[in-house]
Amino acid sequence: MGGFLSEIVRAVRASLRSEAYGLGLPSASPPRPPSLRSALARDRARGAVVAEFKRVSPGQPAPRRPERSCEAFVRAVDPGSPTGYSCLATGPRFDGSPRDVADLARLTTRPVLFKEFVVAAEQIEVAARTGAGAILLIARLEEEGLLDRPLAELAGEAHDRGLEVLLELHRSAELSRAEGVGAEMFGVNVRDLDSLAIDRPTAFRTIAEARRSGLTPLLGLSGVEGPAEAREFWAQGVDGILVGTGVARSPDPAAFVASLRRPRRGGRA
């Protein structure tokens, strides 16, 4: 496999060999942070919206996002009452870092997701020290043989450190990876992480199968440029959505987040 996924995993592994990866973080985990799962359950009826802080979107024609500090981002987004925040911790290709996650967690009382291509236990230890309440694990990484340890063991490590797990899926074949992981939340990404192409038909089939399997709460991930794409996700029956690039591009991020909520009866958000 020579696509984006294998490339980014190689780069992430190289970054883990650097002492800078967890530099500047507390030596111990902060007090137990807010629960993302509880926040998703609370906001399900109106449509949970998780806003993501990111500097670069590799799958976009113009990948670099408008420059905002974590503080400016939270200040701009928070009046829109997001359910929680996600933050890219990946340095290669994304210009993120665990320090960004720690800064964001310090600036909000809302739950924060540590979003990274997690392949090793040391990333989980660092995630716990940032103050994030949840960590992303990607089923396809196990399917492609790119993990140091089985997915269930990484999830167990996260739970031992007080982190909830959001398990990311894309293809229906990955659903079997959910068994034994004990994830608190599930997300289906419309973007194929190998090609970076948006593939809604594949993702929507996976959402339908995930719902039939009782995987909940269930998030739609990526590809939300505005209310139209959000409505496509709501029509699939997801409990929430995660949006990054659209928020970053918006001149009014709070209003943008508010516009993405699940439509009420009659078609109005």
pTM of the model: 0.94
Is residue 138 in a domain? yes
Count how many Cα atoms sit within 13 Å of the Cα of residue 90 in the half-sphere of its side chain: 25
Q: How far is CA 139 from CA 79, 146, 170, 180, in A?
A: 34, 10, 8, 12
Number of domains in the chain: 1
Find out whether the peptide bond into 63 is cis, omega within 30 degrees of 0. no
**What pLDDT, on a 0 to 100 scale, did the predictor assign at position 166?**
98
**Which CATH number belongs to the domain containing residue 206 in this structure?**
3.20.20.70
Dig out the tokens for 121 from the structure: 């236990």
> In percent, how much of the chain has pLDDT > 90?
84
Is residue 117 in a domain? yes
Is residue 254 in a domain? yes
For the segment 128-166, what is each residue's pLDDT rounded down to a tens digit?
A: 999 999 999 999 999 999 999 999 999 999 999 999 999
**What pLDDT, on a 0 to 100 scale, did the predictor assign at position 1?**
46
For the segment 216-248, what is each residue's pLDDT rounded down to a tens digit?
A: 999 999 999 999 999 999 999 999 999 999 998
Nearest-angstrom CA–CA distance, 141 and 120: 11
Question: If you average pLDDT over every residue of the chain, what do you get?
Answer: 93
Q: Give me the domain span that covers residue 136.
A: 4-25+33-259
In the chain, how long is the greatest CA-to-CA distance? 55
Is residue 265 in a domain? no
For the segment 27-70, what is each residue's pLDDT rounded down to a tens digit?
A: 877 788 999 999 999 999 999 999 999 988 887 666 666 678 99
